[in-house]
Copies of this chain bind each other. A is one copy, B any other.
Amino acid sequence: MISWNNLDTVASYKELSNVEKVNLAEVMSGENGGKRVKNYSVPMAAGLAFNYAAKQVDDNVLAVLAKLADEMQLAEKFEALYNGEVINTGEKRLVLHHMTRGQLGEAVVADGGDKRNFYVEQQNKITEFANKVHNGEITNAAGEKFTTVVQIGIGGSDLGPRAMYLALENWAKVNNTFKMEAKFISNVDPDDAAAVLNTIDVEHSLFVLVSKSGTTLETLTNESFVKDALKNAGLDPSKHMVAVTSETSPLAKSDDYLAAFFMDDYIGGRFSSTSAVGGAVLSLAFGPEVFAQFLEGAAEEDKLAANKDLLANPAMLDALIGVYERNVLGYENTAVLPYSQALSRFPAHLQQLDMESNGKSVNRFGEPVDYQTGPVIFGEPGTNGQHSFYQLLHQGTDIVPLQFVGFKNSQMGRDVVIQDSTSQQKLCANVVAQIVAFACGKSDDDRNKYFEGGRPSSIIIGDKLDPKSLGALLSHFENKIMYQGFAWNVNSFDQEGVQLGKVLAKRVLAHETDGALKAYSDLLNI
Contact = CB atoms under 8 A, between A and B. Distances in A.
A169 B497 CA distance: 34
B333 A376 contact: yes
A191 interface: yes
A493 to B, nearest CB: 12
Given A497-B451, A515-B33, A189 B421 contact: no
A332 interface: yes
B394 A498 contact: yes
Interface in A415-455: 415-416, 418-437, 439-442, 446-452
Contacts of A342: 191
Interface stretch (A8-16, A105-113, A131-139, A502-510): A502-510
Given A224-B416, A395-B361, A429-B526, A34 B516 contact: yes
Interface in A484-526: 491, 494-509, 514-521, 523-526
Contact of A195 (B341, B497, B502): B341
Interface stretch (A119-127, A215-223, A258-266): A215-223
A519 B500 CA distance: 50
A261 B182 CA distance: 37
Given A36-B516, A190-B422, A435-B520, 12 more contacts: A28-B516, A51-B520, A90-B448, A154-B383, A190-B412, A224-B416, A269-B387, A352-B389, A376-B392, A376-B398, A390-B501, A429-B509
A456 to B, nearest CB: 13
B221 A194 contact: no
A24 to B, nearest CB: 11
Contact of A509 (B29, B425, B494): B425
A358 to B, nearest CB: 8
A219 to B, nearest CB: 10
Contacts of A521: 428-429, 432
A450 B430 CA distance: 45
